[in-house]
Amino acid sequence: MIRSVVRGFGAALPKRVVTNQELESKVDTSDEWIVQRTGIRQRYIAGEGETTASLGEAAARAALDNAGLTAADLDLIILATSTPDNTFPATAVNIQNRLGMHHGAAFDVQAVCSGFIYAVTTADAYIRGGLAKRVLVIGAETFSRILDWSDRTTCVLFGDGAGAIILEAQEGEGTIADRGVLTAKLRSDGAHREKLYVDGGPSTTGTVGHLKMEGREVFKHAVGMITDVIEAAFEATGTTAEDIDWLVPHQANRRIIDGSAKKLGIPLDKVVVTVDLHGNTSAASIPLALNTAAADGRIKKGDLVLLEAMGGGFTWGSVLIRW
Protein backbone atom coordinates (compact mmCIF):
# COMPACT_ATOMS: atom_id res chain seq x y z
CA MET A 1 0.00 0.00 0.00
CA ILE A 2 1.20 3.52 -0.80
CA ARG A 3 1.28 5.86 2.20
CA SER A 4 1.79 9.63 2.34
CA VAL A 5 4.72 10.00 4.74
CA VAL A 6 5.89 13.27 6.29
CA ARG A 7 9.35 13.92 4.85
CA GLY A 8 9.90 17.46 6.15
CA PHE A 9 8.32 20.36 8.04
CA GLY A 10 8.84 24.09 8.41
CA ALA A 11 7.24 27.36 9.49
CA ALA A 12 7.49 31.13 9.16
CA LEU A 13 6.15 34.03 11.21
CA PRO A 14 6.00 37.78 10.62
CA LYS A 15 8.59 39.95 12.39
CA ARG A 16 6.13 41.88 14.54
CA VAL A 17 4.74 40.48 17.77
CA VAL A 18 1.59 42.12 19.16
CA THR A 19 0.90 41.42 22.82
CA ASN A 20 -2.40 41.65 24.64
CA GLN A 21 -1.05 44.67 26.44
CA GLU A 22 -0.57 46.49 23.15
CA LEU A 23 -4.18 45.75 22.17
CA GLU A 24 -5.36 47.19 25.50
CA SER A 25 -4.32 50.60 24.21
CA LYS A 26 -6.34 50.22 20.99
CA VAL A 27 -9.65 48.60 21.97
CA ASP A 28 -11.68 48.16 25.14
CA THR A 29 -10.17 44.87 26.32
CA SER A 30 -7.64 43.54 28.82
CA ASP A 31 -4.92 40.93 28.96
CA GLU A 32 -6.83 39.15 31.73
CA TRP A 33 -10.04 39.01 29.66
CA ILE A 34 -8.27 37.67 26.56
CA VAL A 35 -6.24 35.04 28.42
CA GLN A 36 -9.17 33.84 30.52
CA ARG A 37 -11.50 33.35 27.55
CA THR A 38 -9.07 32.24 24.84
CA GLY A 39 -5.62 31.43 26.26
CA ILE A 40 -4.03 33.87 23.78
CA ARG A 41 -1.17 36.04 25.09
CA GLN A 42 0.30 37.33 21.82
CA ARG A 43 0.08 37.00 18.06
CA TYR A 44 2.26 37.85 15.03
CA ILE A 45 1.02 40.51 12.62
CA ALA A 46 2.29 40.87 9.05
CA GLY A 47 3.97 44.14 8.20
CA GLU A 48 4.79 45.91 4.96
CA GLY A 49 6.07 43.47 2.37
CA GLU A 50 4.92 40.44 4.34
CA THR A 51 2.11 38.61 2.54
CA THR A 52 0.53 35.18 2.46
CA ALA A 53 2.83 34.29 -0.44
CA SER A 54 6.02 35.53 1.25
CA LEU A 55 5.21 33.72 4.50
CA GLY A 56 4.20 30.60 2.57
CA GLU A 57 7.44 30.69 0.60
CA ALA A 58 9.52 30.98 3.77
CA ALA A 59 7.70 28.04 5.39
CA ALA A 60 8.11 26.01 2.19
CA ARG A 61 11.84 26.67 2.05
CA ALA A 62 12.18 25.65 5.70
CA ALA A 63 10.32 22.40 4.99
CA LEU A 64 12.47 21.67 1.92
CA ASP A 65 15.64 22.29 3.96
CA ASN A 66 14.36 20.02 6.73
CA ALA A 67 13.64 17.29 4.18
CA GLY A 68 16.94 17.71 2.33
CA LEU A 69 15.03 18.38 -0.89
CA THR A 70 14.70 21.15 -3.47
CA ALA A 71 11.73 22.45 -5.44
CA ALA A 72 12.87 20.23 -8.31
CA ASP A 73 11.87 17.22 -6.19
CA LEU A 74 8.23 18.32 -5.86
CA ASP A 75 5.31 17.33 -8.09
CA LEU A 76 2.58 19.47 -6.55
CA ILE A 77 1.99 22.41 -4.20
CA ILE A 78 -1.29 22.74 -2.30
CA LEU A 79 -1.81 25.93 -0.32
CA ALA A 80 -4.57 26.23 2.26
CA THR A 81 -5.54 29.87 2.74
CA SER A 82 -8.50 32.20 3.14
CA THR A 83 -6.36 35.30 2.65
CA PRO A 84 -4.78 34.99 -0.81
CA ASP A 85 -2.50 37.68 -2.20
CA ASN A 86 -4.90 38.18 -5.11
CA THR A 87 -8.40 37.05 -6.06
CA PHE A 88 -6.54 35.19 -8.80
CA PRO A 89 -4.20 33.63 -9.71
CA ALA A 90 -3.90 31.15 -6.86
CA THR A 91 -1.31 32.19 -4.29
CA ALA A 92 0.12 28.66 -4.60
CA VAL A 93 1.21 29.54 -8.13
CA ASN A 94 2.97 32.64 -6.77
CA ILE A 95 4.81 30.47 -4.22
CA GLN A 96 5.65 27.94 -6.94
CA ASN A 97 7.31 30.70 -8.96
CA ARG A 98 9.12 32.12 -5.92
CA LEU A 99 10.61 28.68 -5.32
CA GLY A 100 11.85 28.54 -8.91
CA MET A 101 9.57 25.59 -9.70
CA HIS A 102 8.32 25.62 -13.29
CA HIS A 103 6.98 22.07 -13.54
CA GLY A 104 4.14 20.17 -11.88
CA ALA A 105 1.08 21.98 -10.57
CA ALA A 106 -0.02 24.30 -7.77
CA PHE A 107 -3.42 25.35 -6.46
CA ASP A 108 -5.18 26.82 -3.43
CA VAL A 109 -7.69 25.13 -1.12
CA GLN A 110 -10.21 27.24 0.83
CA ALA A 111 -11.83 25.70 3.90
CA VAL A 112 -10.93 28.47 6.38
CA CYS A 113 -9.53 27.07 9.65
CA SER A 114 -9.97 23.48 8.40
CA GLY A 115 -7.99 24.32 5.27
CA PHE A 116 -4.81 22.47 6.23
CA ILE A 117 -6.80 19.32 7.04
CA TYR A 118 -8.51 19.56 3.63
CA ALA A 119 -5.17 20.20 1.91
CA VAL A 120 -3.45 17.21 3.56
CA THR A 121 -6.42 15.00 2.65
CA THR A 122 -6.22 16.20 -0.97
CA ALA A 123 -2.46 15.61 -1.11
CA ASP A 124 -2.92 12.11 0.30
CA ALA A 125 -5.48 11.35 -2.42
CA TYR A 126 -3.06 12.50 -5.12
CA ILE A 127 -0.26 10.38 -3.68
CA ARG A 128 -2.34 7.23 -3.13
CA GLY A 129 -3.81 7.66 -6.61
CA GLY A 130 -0.35 7.72 -8.17
CA LEU A 131 -0.72 11.29 -9.45
CA ALA A 132 2.15 12.67 -7.37
CA LYS A 133 5.15 11.35 -5.45
CA ARG A 134 5.95 14.43 -3.38
CA VAL A 135 3.52 17.16 -2.38
CA LEU A 136 4.30 20.37 -0.56
CA VAL A 137 1.31 21.22 1.68
CA ILE A 138 1.22 24.75 3.09
CA GLY A 139 -1.13 26.59 5.41
CA ALA A 140 -0.53 30.35 5.24
CA GLU A 141 -2.62 33.32 6.34
CA THR A 142 -2.60 37.08 6.83
CA PHE A 143 -5.86 37.27 8.75
CA SER A 144 -4.90 40.64 10.20
CA ARG A 145 -5.91 42.16 6.85
CA ILE A 146 -9.54 41.05 7.06
CA LEU A 147 -10.08 42.07 10.69
CA ASP A 148 -12.11 45.01 11.93
CA TRP A 149 -9.58 46.43 14.37
CA SER A 150 -12.34 48.31 16.22
CA ASP A 151 -14.20 45.05 17.01
CA ARG A 152 -12.75 43.82 20.28
CA THR A 153 -14.57 40.49 20.03
CA THR A 154 -12.63 39.40 16.93
CA CYS A 155 -9.46 41.47 16.50
CA VAL A 156 -7.84 39.98 19.63
CA LEU A 157 -8.25 36.40 18.40
CA PHE A 158 -6.33 36.15 15.15
CA GLY A 159 -2.77 36.31 13.89
CA ASP A 160 -0.64 35.71 10.80
CA GLY A 161 1.84 32.98 9.88
CA ALA A 162 2.60 29.95 7.76
CA GLY A 163 3.53 26.31 8.19
CA ALA A 164 4.32 23.53 5.74
CA ILE A 165 4.95 19.81 5.46
CA ILE A 166 6.20 17.68 2.59
CA LEU A 167 4.36 14.41 2.01
CA GLU A 168 6.18 11.66 0.11
CA ALA A 169 4.90 8.39 -1.36
CA GLN A 170 6.36 5.39 0.47
CA GLU A 171 5.44 1.72 0.60
CA GLY A 172 3.51 0.55 3.64
CA GLU A 173 2.12 -2.76 4.84
CA GLY A 174 -1.45 -1.50 5.03
CA THR A 175 -1.59 -1.60 8.84
CA ILE A 176 -1.77 1.14 11.46
CA ALA A 177 1.93 0.52 12.12
CA ASP A 178 2.71 2.16 8.76
CA ARG A 179 4.23 5.61 8.74
CA GLY A 180 2.19 8.29 6.96
CA VAL A 181 -1.45 9.29 6.68
CA LEU A 182 -3.60 6.45 8.04
CA THR A 183 -7.03 8.03 7.58
CA ALA A 184 -8.69 11.40 6.94
CA LYS A 185 -12.25 12.49 7.63
CA LEU A 186 -13.84 15.67 6.23
CA ARG A 187 -17.20 17.28 6.97
CA SER A 188 -19.06 20.50 6.17
CA ASP A 189 -22.47 22.04 6.73
CA GLY A 190 -23.28 25.29 4.95
CA ALA A 191 -26.33 25.89 7.15
CA HIS A 192 -23.92 27.49 9.63
CA ARG A 193 -22.17 29.85 7.19
CA GLU A 194 -23.46 33.06 8.80
CA LYS A 195 -21.99 32.15 12.19
CA LEU A 196 -18.44 32.76 10.93
CA TYR A 197 -17.87 34.58 7.64
CA VAL A 198 -16.38 37.62 5.88
CA ASP A 199 -18.92 40.25 4.80
CA GLY A 200 -17.41 40.89 1.40
CA GLY A 201 -16.23 39.29 -1.82
CA PRO A 202 -15.79 39.88 -5.56
CA SER A 203 -19.22 38.51 -6.50
CA THR A 204 -21.22 40.29 -3.79
CA THR A 205 -19.75 43.57 -2.59
CA GLY A 206 -16.67 43.92 -4.75
CA THR A 207 -14.68 44.44 -1.54
CA VAL A 208 -12.50 42.29 0.69
CA GLY A 209 -14.80 42.73 3.69
CA HIS A 210 -14.20 42.01 7.37
CA LEU A 211 -14.47 38.90 9.49
CA LYS A 212 -17.74 38.47 11.40
CA MET A 213 -18.28 35.83 14.07
CA GLU A 214 -20.96 34.66 16.47
CA GLY A 215 -18.47 33.46 19.05
CA ARG A 216 -20.89 31.66 21.34
CA GLU A 217 -22.46 29.77 18.45
CA VAL A 218 -19.05 28.67 17.12
CA PHE A 219 -18.00 27.54 20.59
CA LYS A 220 -21.29 25.66 21.07
CA HIS A 221 -20.76 23.55 17.94
CA ALA A 222 -16.99 23.15 18.05
CA VAL A 223 -16.43 20.39 20.60
CA GLY A 224 -19.20 18.15 19.22
CA MET A 225 -18.08 18.51 15.61
CA ILE A 226 -14.43 17.88 16.47
CA THR A 227 -15.35 14.81 18.50
CA ASP A 228 -17.39 13.49 15.55
CA VAL A 229 -14.48 13.38 13.09
CA ILE A 230 -11.99 12.10 15.65
CA GLU A 231 -14.24 9.21 16.63
CA ALA A 232 -14.66 8.49 12.90
CA ALA A 233 -10.86 8.31 12.57
CA PHE A 234 -10.67 5.90 15.52
CA GLU A 235 -13.37 3.69 13.98
CA ALA A 236 -11.63 3.65 10.58
CA THR A 237 -8.30 2.55 12.04
CA GLY A 238 -9.30 0.51 15.07
CA THR A 239 -7.42 2.89 17.34
CA THR A 240 -8.49 4.60 20.56
CA ALA A 241 -7.57 7.73 22.47
CA GLU A 242 -5.05 5.65 24.44
CA ASP A 243 -3.08 4.97 21.24
CA ILE A 244 -2.56 8.67 20.46
CA ASP A 245 0.88 10.07 21.23
CA TRP A 246 0.01 13.64 20.29
CA LEU A 247 -3.15 15.60 19.55
CA VAL A 248 -2.39 18.65 17.39
CA PRO A 249 -5.61 20.65 17.21
CA HIS A 250 -6.49 23.83 15.39
CA GLN A 251 -5.36 26.62 17.70
CA ALA A 252 -8.47 28.76 18.05
CA ASN A 253 -9.33 28.80 21.73
CA ARG A 254 -7.73 27.08 24.71
CA ARG A 255 -11.12 26.23 26.20
CA ILE A 256 -12.20 24.45 22.99
CA ILE A 257 -8.89 22.56 22.89
CA ASP A 258 -9.15 21.46 26.53
CA GLY A 259 -12.85 20.60 26.21
CA SER A 260 -12.27 18.42 23.14
CA ALA A 261 -9.36 16.57 24.74
CA LYS A 262 -11.32 15.94 27.91
CA LYS A 263 -14.36 14.64 26.03
CA LEU A 264 -12.14 12.26 24.02
CA GLY A 265 -10.16 11.10 27.04
CA ILE A 266 -6.83 12.43 25.75
CA PRO A 267 -4.58 13.72 28.58
CA LEU A 268 -3.67 17.41 28.29
CA ASP A 269 0.04 16.54 28.45
CA LYS A 270 -0.43 14.87 25.05
CA VAL A 271 -1.95 17.99 23.47
CA VAL A 272 0.22 20.44 21.53
CA VAL A 273 -0.86 24.00 22.39
CA THR A 274 0.55 27.10 20.70
CA VAL A 275 -2.52 29.35 20.77
CA ASP A 276 -0.86 31.41 23.51
CA LEU A 277 2.00 32.27 21.16
CA HIS A 278 0.32 32.54 17.75
CA GLY A 279 -3.38 33.22 18.34
CA ASN A 280 -5.74 31.79 15.74
CA THR A 281 -3.85 31.66 12.44
CA SER A 282 -6.63 29.77 10.64
CA ALA A 283 -5.19 27.31 8.08
CA ALA A 284 -1.66 28.00 9.35
CA SER A 285 -2.34 27.00 12.95
CA ILE A 286 -1.93 23.21 12.71
CA PRO A 287 1.29 23.26 10.64
CA LEU A 288 2.71 25.95 12.94
CA ALA A 289 1.93 23.76 15.95
CA LEU A 290 3.32 20.68 14.20
CA ASN A 291 6.54 22.53 13.43
CA THR A 292 6.87 23.69 17.04
CA ALA A 293 6.40 20.22 18.52
CA ALA A 294 8.50 18.40 15.92
CA ALA A 295 11.34 20.94 16.13
CA ASP A 296 11.55 20.76 19.93
CA GLY A 297 11.61 16.96 19.87
CA ARG A 298 8.19 16.20 21.30
CA ILE A 299 6.86 14.62 18.09
CA LYS A 300 9.20 11.80 17.09
CA LYS A 301 9.40 9.31 14.25
CA GLY A 302 6.80 6.59 14.76
CA ASP A 303 4.51 8.69 16.96
CA LEU A 304 0.78 8.51 16.27
CA VAL A 305 -0.34 12.12 15.69
CA LEU A 306 -3.96 13.22 15.46
CA LEU A 307 -4.80 16.49 13.69
CA GLU A 308 -8.22 18.16 13.90
CA ALA A 309 -9.84 21.47 12.99
CA MET A 310 -13.12 23.29 12.61
CA GLY A 311 -13.65 26.47 10.62
CA GLY A 312 -16.10 28.77 8.90
CA GLY A 313 -18.66 27.13 6.68
CA PHE A 314 -18.85 25.21 8.96
CA THR A 315 -16.08 22.86 7.84
CA TRP A 316 -14.34 20.35 10.08
CA GLY A 317 -12.08 17.35 9.77
CA SER A 318 -9.38 15.09 11.18
CA VAL A 319 -6.24 13.40 9.91
CA LEU A 320 -4.44 10.56 11.68
CA ILE A 321 -0.74 10.35 10.83
CA ARG A 322 2.08 8.11 12.00
CA TRP A 323 5.04 10.48 12.01
Residues with a catalytic annotation lie at 113, 250, 280
Q: Give the dihedral sign, CA 48/52/53/57.
A: positive
d(CA 105, CA 129): 16
Residue spans of beta strands (DSSP E) within the chain: 2-12, 16-19, 42-45, 76-80, 105-109, 134-142, 160-171, 180-188, 196-198, 211-213, 246-249, 304-311, 315-322
Q: Give the dihedral sign, CA 248/113/51/40.
A: negative
Measuring CA to CA, how many Å separate 86 from each of 110, 138, 196, 202?
Answer: 14, 17, 22, 11
Residue 113, SS3 per DSSP: helix
Whether residue 218 contacts residue 196, with contact meaning beta carbons closer than 8 Å, is answered with: yes
Q: Give the dihedral sign, CA 71/76/79/80.
A: negative
Residue 34, SS3 per DSSP: helix
What string of DSSP letters covers 219-277? HHHHHHHHHHHHHHHHHHHT--GGG-SEEEE--S-HHHHHHHHHHHT--GGGB---HHH
Q: Which amino acid is at 133?
A: K
